[in-house]
Amino acid sequence: MAVRTRPDVDSARDPGGRARNDARCQRILDTAAPLVLDDLDWEAVPRTAVAPEVVDCLVYMRDVEGFTDRDLVGFTAHRSTLADPLIRRFLGIWRSEEAGHTQALDRFLTGYAAGRDVTVPSRPAPPAATVPFAERVMARIGGPVGTVVTTAHMTWGAANELLTLNGYRLLADRCGHPTLATLLRRIAAQEARHYTFYLLQAQWRLATSRTARTVLPRILRGAWTPVGVGDGYKSPAEFGHVLRFLAQGDDGRRAFTRMDARFAALPGFDGLRIYREAAASVP
């Protein structure tokens, strides 16, 4: 049974647009559905060759999507965040759909490798869910600090999902493989819904917290790293290889410019250019 959404109200009674944004988020959750795969022509997968760079991107995406298959710990499981029933429900759906992306990409890579005698690295297990002591302490703090942590989680999630969905779209347009292109566009559609949820939750929180608007742009400028990069995960070199491929060409440059413009529209984020700066930093 679908959960009833809260009606939109005027801005005077809805500071920051929370009720409006929460209602939209509720609709996103109510219409979530598993990735459709049965109608794809899986037997035809090895018949069409794709560039080695495309395979490299798929391996990276498969592995990073699989890293979400672990317990939520630290800031991602902050008590202020999980106290919000919308976010708690979303994170369950998000993890399930990310796992579905991993399985679908692995199915394509396995079939492609077997049919064309191509070596594809096996899928790694996600690292153990460990948290540094300082983060464990911070994760227990509520009040204004907890509000900023939740806002940071939603903002960081929006940043990563925006890059992810555009990466899938660019790869779908470039791969030259009909089955893969369809699969990637379907995954991108789910990632777009994830991005929208994170964005809507970040918007109203930033609009109502001067501290978050002041602190988070500085953190993103100095410390933002895409999801999947870090100790025990993917190396910066692996990410750089993928990003260099995605950012090249007129379509890549347009996509990165568009991403920066959308992300910079968040309250307090004017002038932020994290995507172009990331692309420019790749050797």
Q: What is the DSSP string of 187-219?
A: HHHHHHHHHHHHHHHHHHHHHH-HHHHHHHHHH
On whether residue 193 sits in a domain, the answer given is: yes
User: Is pLDDT above 90 for 283?
Assistant: no
141 Rama class: left (phi>0) / alpha (psi -120 to 50) / beta: beta
pLDDT at 162: 97
- 196 domain residue, yes or no: yes
Q: List, for residues 156-208, the tens digit of each pLDDT value.
A: 999 999 999 999 999 999 999 999 999 999 999 999 999 999 999 999 999 99
Backbone φ, ψ for residue 51 (5° rounding): -65, 150
Indicate the average pLDDT of the chain.
Answer: 88
Instruction: Render the burial of 217-251: b for 16+ CB within 10 Å, e for the rest.
Output: beebeeebebbbeeeebbeeebbbbbbebbbeeee
CA distance 239 to 228: 9
- What is the domain-level CATH number for residue 168? 1.10.620.20
Domain annotation covers residue 87? yes
Domain count, the chain: 1
pLDDT at residue 8 greater than cutoff 60 = no
Q: Is 249 a member of any domain?
A: yes
CA–CA gap between residue 102 and residue 95 (Å, rounded): 11
Domain membership of residue 4 (yes or no) is no
Q: Classify residue 37: in a domain, yes or no.
A: no
Domain, as residue range, for 138 = 46-280
**What per-residue confidence (pLDDT) applies to 71?**
59
Spatial CA neighbour of 125 closest among 56, 164, 69, 61: 69
Asked whether residue 27 is assigned to any structural domain, the reply reads: no
Closest CA to 243 of 268, 209, 277, 270: 277
Bigger pLDDT: 216 or 135? Answer: 216
| Bridge partners of residue 234, in order along the sequence | 229
Q: Which pLDDT does position 228 carry in this prediction?
A: 79
Residue 41 within a domain: no
- What is the per-residue pLDDT for 5? 42
Least confident of 19-23, 82-86, 253-257: 82-86
